[in-house]
Structure 1
C-alpha cells in the first residue's frame, strides 16, 4: 500500500479479480468500505478497488452471453468496453480525480474522506491501547475518539459512493457521443460467423429460462409473434418471385433470399420448440401445459407456411426448366389468390400478437378467409380445364398454374390450423 501509483494499479487489479470471482460489485464495495473505514487502506486505494469492481462486474453479462446469439455477445462486449475505456481516462487523471471527489464530499458538508486513514495511523502511533480497542466495540460511545472516528467513517462511505457515482456519470456523458464508434469497434471484435446470423436473432428467448414459469411462456408467446411476422414477409417475396423473369439475376437473388428466410424459419422453429420443451420441464399448471402444447403446434404450422412459400419458388424454377410461360389471366388470378392468403396471414399474425386476449371476431375472420381461399381455389380448378380446352394457354402451363394454386391453398390450411390452436386455447381457458 505504499508504492505510490503502482499501488493504485495493484489495488485496481485486486478489485477486478475479486469482483470477477464473487460476481458482485456491491459485495466488493462493501469489502472496500470496511477496509477503508478501519483505516487499513487510504481513500486513494479504496477508490482503486471501486474502479476495479466496475471492470470485474462485466464478467456477469459476459458469462450470460456465452449461450446467447451475436447480439447478446456484442452487448456484453460493449459493456466491457465502456468500463475499460472509462477506467483508462480515470487512471490518466487518477490523483486529481480522487482529490476532486474528496473536495466534492467535503463541499457537500460530509467531511474529508481522506482524513480517516491518517487519523487512525496517528492513534496507532500515539495511543496503541486505544487503537487496539477502537474497532472491537469495547470503547464506550462517549469516548471522544469513537465519536470522531464515527464521523470520519460516514465521510468515507459517502466519499466512496460519490466517487463511484461521479465516475459513471462522467463516463456516460463522455462515451454517449461515441456510440457509433462503439458499434463499429464491437462489431469488429465480435464478427458474425455466418452472414445470416445478422438476421437470425431471437428477440425474447435468446437467454436462459426465467425463475417464473408463466413468464417463460409469455416470452415464448412474444417470440412466436415475431416468428409469424417474419414468415409473413415470405408470402410477399413469393408473389414478387412469380412476377420476376426466371433465369435472370434478379430472380436468382430473390429466390436465394426466400431460401435464406426459409432456413432461418427452420432454425427459429427449433430454438422456440427447444425453449418450450425446457419450459414444460418446470412446475406448471394444467393450463400452462395445455398452452405449451398449443404453442408447439403453432410453431410447427408457421414453419410449414415458410416451406410453402419456398415451395412456390421451386415450382417456378421447374416451370422455367420446362420453358413454359404464363399469360396475363394466370398472373391476375395468382395475384388474387395471393391477396386472399396474405389477408388470412395478416389476421393470423394479429391473433398471435395477443394470444391470451384473442378476440372471437378475429377467429371468425380467420375461418371466413379460409373459405374464400378454398372457394377461389375450386373456381380456378374448374375454369382451368375450360381455359385449356379453349387454348387460353398450354396444358403444361395449366399444370404449373394449378400447382401454385394448390400450394397457396395449402398455405391457407396451415394458417387456419394456427387459428384452430388459438381457438382451442381460448376454450381450455374458459373451462
Structure 2
C-alpha cells in the first residue's frame, strides 16, 4: 500500500459521504411534511414510537438527521420529551439497513442473477436512470427520485473505492500487528466512537469497517467493540445540535447518549463475560461485510429490547442530568435545527401560522366584545396578544425566508409564499383589533352610547364581519380554495353595508339623532371593519393563489366580479345580511 492508496481511500470516503448526504437530503425533501405528521401521531405507546422511528430513519437513511429533527421539535414545543424515547430507539434499528445494503458488495457467485445483487454491478444502471430523471423530467418529484438514485450510486462507488484502496493491507504484516491492539475492547470502543464522532455518520464508519473486513484481517473480537463504539460516536451530532436550545431539547441528546452508553456497557459485559464462560469459537474468526451488518443489527436490537421497558427511567435520568429552567419562555417557537429538514420546517410553519391566525381572530373578537361589554382585563389580553402577533410576524417571516434558501420543492415554495403573504394580513388584523379597543375605551370613558338604530345596523355588520373572518381563517387553515372563493362576495357585501350605514349616519346627524363626537367614533369603527374584511379577502386569495400557477391576484378579483357565481353569491349575502328598515 502506497500514498496513492491513501488518496484513493480519502476520495472513496468523500464519495461515500457525499452520496449519503445527497440521498438523505433528497429523501427528506420528498417526504416533506409527512415526517412531521407521522411524528405528531406519537402516543404514549412506546412500540408505535419504536416502529415509526425505525420507519422514518429507513426512509431518510439518517439516524443523525432523525435525532436533530427530534431536538428541534422538542425545542419548538411540538413534541414532549417522553415521545422521543421510542423514536430514538427505533432510529438506531432503522440505521442498520445501510450496513445490510453495503454488505451486498461481498457477494461472491458465478450466477449472473446473484451477481446482479452486487451494488457495484447494478449501481451504474441506477446512476444512469437517475441522471435521465434529473435532466429529462420537468416534475420536481421525479428529479428528486433521480437525485436519490444518483446519491445511492455515488455512495456505492465510494464504498468500492475504499474497498479497493485497503485491499493491499491484507498482505502487510505491519497492519496485522497494528490490529492486535484492537483485541483490547476498550480501545476498540474508543476508536469506533472517536472516528464516528469525527465524520458524524455511523453508517459511513460501519461502511469503512466493512471495507476493512473484506481484507480478511478483522475478527469478530475486534469488530464487536468497534461497532459498539460507533453507536456512541453517532451521538456527537445530537450533542452539537443541542447547543443553544432549551433544557428540554438538551434532554433529547442526554437520552440518546444514555441509551447508547448503557447499551455498550451492558453489551461488553455480557459479550466478554459470555466469552470467558463459553469460549466463543468465532472470536478469532475473520468477519465479513455481512457479519458486521449482522453484529450491528443484533447490538441495536438487543439494546432496544433491553432499555425499552425502562423508557420512563431514561426520561427521569435526562431530567436529573439537565435540571428545570427557573423560568419558561412566553411561548415556544420554531427552532433553526428544523431547517436541516425543510419539509418538516415548512409543515411546522404552517402549524405556527395557523396558530397566529387563531390569535388574530380571537383578538379581533375580543375587541368587538369591548364595544358592548368593556373590561380592563380583556384590554390587557388584547394588548398582550398584539405583541405576540408582532413576534409571530417577525420570527415567522425571517424563518420562512431562510427555508426558501434550502432547496425546497415547487410545492413547498408555493406554501412558503402563501404563508409569507398571510402573516402580514394576520398582523394587520391584530393592529385593527387594537384600534377597535381604543375606540371601545373612548366610548367607555366618555360614557357614549349609539342610538338604537345604529346599534341594530352595527349588529348586522358585525355578524357579517365575524362570518367572513371565520370563512377566511378556516379556508386558510384547511388550504381549501373552494371555501376561499366564498369570501369575495361577502367582502363586497360588507363594503356595501358600510356605505349604506354611512349614508344613514349622515341622515341621523342632519336630524339631530346623533352627535358629531359619536360620528367620529362610528367612522373609525367602520374604517377598521372595512380594512379587516379587505385582509380576509387577501387571505382567501392567498389560498386560491397557492393552488394555481401564475395567478395575478388583481386580475383574478377583477375577473371574479364579472362572474355569474360571484353575482349569485353577492345576491345571497346581501339578502342574508340585510340592514333593518330606516
Same fold (TM over 0.5): yes
Q: C-alpha distance in 2, partners of 1:4/1:327? A: 89
Q: 1:236 aligns with which of 347, 365, 382?
A: 365
Q: Do the aligned partners of residues 179 and 88 (structure 1) sit closer, same or farther apart at CA in structure 2, a change above 3 Å counting?
A: closer
The answer for the alignment partner of 1:414 in structure 2 is 535
The answer for the alignment partner of 2:258 in structure 1 is 85
The answer for the alignment partner of 2:446 in structure 1 is 323
Task: List aligned pairs for 1:140-289, cutoff 5 A.
Answer: 149=286, 158-175=294-311, 177-178=312-313, 181=316, 188=323, 195-198=329-332, 200-201=333-334, 206-208=338-340, 210=342, 224-225=353-354, 227-242=356-371, 245-246=374-375, 248=376, 250-271=377-398, 273-275=400-402, 278=405
Counterpart contact for 2:472–2:539, Cα < 8 Å: yes
Q: Do the aligned partners of residues 386 and 55 (structure 1) sit closer, same or farther apart at CA in structure 2, a change above 3 Å counting?
A: farther
> How far did 1:258 drift?
2.0
> How far did 1:371 drift?
2.4
Q: C-alpha distance in 2, partners of 1:387/1:9? A: 92
1:53 equivalenced with 2:230 (yes/no): yes
Larger radius of gyration: 1
Q: Do the aligned partners of residues 241 and 92 (structure 1) sit closer, same or farther apart at CA in structure 2, a change above 3 Å counting?
A: farther
Q: C-alpha distance in 2, partners of 1:90/1:292? A: 42
Q: 1:25 aligns with which of 186, 202, 206?
A: 202
Cα distance per residue 1:52-111 (max 9 Å; x no partner): 3333323334555669x75xx854x343222222245446645443369989xxxxxxxx
Q: 1:306 aligns with which of 430, 443, 446?
A: 430
The answer for the alignment partner of 1:130 in structure 2 is none
Q: C-alpha distance in 2, partners of 1:113/1:419? A: 73
Q: 1:358 aligns with which of 466, 477, 481?
A: 481
1:98 equivalenced with 2:275 (yes/no): no
Q: Do the aligned partners of residues 399 and 184 (structure 1) sit closer, same or farther apart at CA in structure 2, a change above 3 Å counting?
A: farther
SS in 2 for 1:195: coil
Counterpart contact for 2:191–2:226, Cα < 8 Å: yes
Q: C-alpha distance in 2, partners of 1:328/1:257? A: 32
The answer for the alignment partner of 1:144 in structure 2 is none
Q: Do the aligned partners of residues 216 and 180 (structure 1) sit closer, same or farther apart at CA in structure 2, a change above 3 Å counting?
A: closer
SS in 1 for 2:195: helix
Q: Do the aligned partners of residues 422 and 155 (structure 1) sit closer, same or farther apart at CA in structure 2, a change above 3 Å counting?
A: closer
Normalised by the length of structure 1, the TM-score is 0.65
Q: C-alpha distance in 1, partners of 2:511/2:322? A: 61
Q: 1:116 aligns with which of 282, 300, 306?
A: 282
> How far did 1:167 drift?
0.6
Q: Do the aligned partners of residues 233 and 14 (structure 1) sit closer, same or farther apart at CA in structure 2, a change above 3 Å counting?
A: farther
The answer for the alignment partner of 2:473 in structure 1 is 349
The answer for the alignment partner of 1:123 in structure 2 is none
Q: 5+ residue gaps in structure 2?
A: 1-178, 553-582
Q: 5+ residue gaps in structure 1?
A: 104-111, 120-148
Counterpart contact for 1:324–1:396, Cα < 8 Å: no
Counterpart contact for 1:358–1:422, Cα < 8 Å: yes
Q: C-alpha distance in 2, partners of 1:95/1:217? A: 43
Q: Do the aligned partners of residues 89 and 179 (structure 1) sit closer, same or farther apart at CA in structure 2, a change above 3 Å counting?
A: closer
> How far did 1:19 drift?
1.6
Normalised by the length of structure 2, the TM-score is 0.50
Q: Do the aligned partners of residues 173 and 224 (structure 1) sit closer, same or farther apart at CA in structure 2, a change above 3 Å counting?
A: same
Q: Do the aligned partners of residues 205 and 192 (structure 1) sit closer, same or farther apart at CA in structure 2, a change above 3 Å counting?
A: farther
SS in 2 for 1:207: helix
Counterpart contact for 1:58–1:79, Cα < 8 Å: no
